[in-house]
Structure 1
Amino acid sequence: MTISVGDTLPPVTFMTMTSDGPSPVESEAYFAGRKIALFSLPGAFTPTCSAKHLPGFVEKADELKAKGVDEIACTAVNDVFVMGAWAKDQGAEGKVTLLADGNAAFVEAIGLTMDGSKFGLGTRGQRFSMIVDDGKVTTLNIEAPGDFQVSSADYLLGQL
């Protein structure tokens, strides 16, 4: 079943890269008591993700925060080392928190996986964005396959 507006995010463990190395991030604690703009993309260093999706959120970080967002987070089915390197490459550090969903546990739990095996990518997360307020989904935008419209920073900003 696909997650919907009004649902609470499931408990999962993401990984994030810190100055001390990989660190687990428990979803229940991470989302508790805060308003988070969360977006998902198929993969770090992939064309649309690197040219448009993540850069849009990096560029609009201050505007999103001015509209009441406490933190901006990006998740992808990549390992924490790739996500850490991508954050540096994209200038995302301090603006967007990259949450590695290396085993696809999060996107499977919310019903938003995609099959990227014809491109050699295996199971990945669909492209989407959401506002999560104290662990509850209040806004949800799921892209049609191959599209990049409703999950952009600009689109989400317009919903706040």
Structure 2
Amino acid sequence: MDTSTLVKSLKAMLLKANAHVSFADAVKSLPANLRGVVPPGMPYSIWQLVEHIRIAQFDILDFSRNPDYKEIDWPGDYWPKEAAPADDAAWKHSIAQVDKDLHAFIGLLEAPGADLFAPFPYGSGQHLFREAVLLLDHNSYHTGEIVTLRRMLGAWH
């Protein structure tokens, strides 16, 4: 089965804004003093959301390519405890890692001979297409939350 159109669509959905804004646009030009602010009534800061996206996305990537994958603990290992990044370098590293790991995942989709629907031999029937949809849903949901927090903090266009 030719899945090139499906791969192209998944790639576009993972990289572009669609219903929300893109992750890159959601975090672009956010004032450093707002990265660790937890708005009243909210459980987390934008930094915690960015880190959660980074951690969960890497977990999905690792699961999708690593036959020696080791499950991490939910929810503790998926959310940072600190509300703010240690410094600007930590913020930039996290943002860059989200982009790097997303492109690594897309590389799995675009790999020659990739079978999107072949069950992983180590994953209880999961397959690359399932993980792509999971990643798309996860990242778009939490990117929308970043936009919401920015609006609450008065830091959205």
TM-score, reference length from structure 1: 0.24
Q: Please say which structure displays the higher CA radius of gyration.
A: 2
The two structures have a TM-score, normalised by structure 2, of: 0.25
Q: Which has the higher strand share?
A: 1
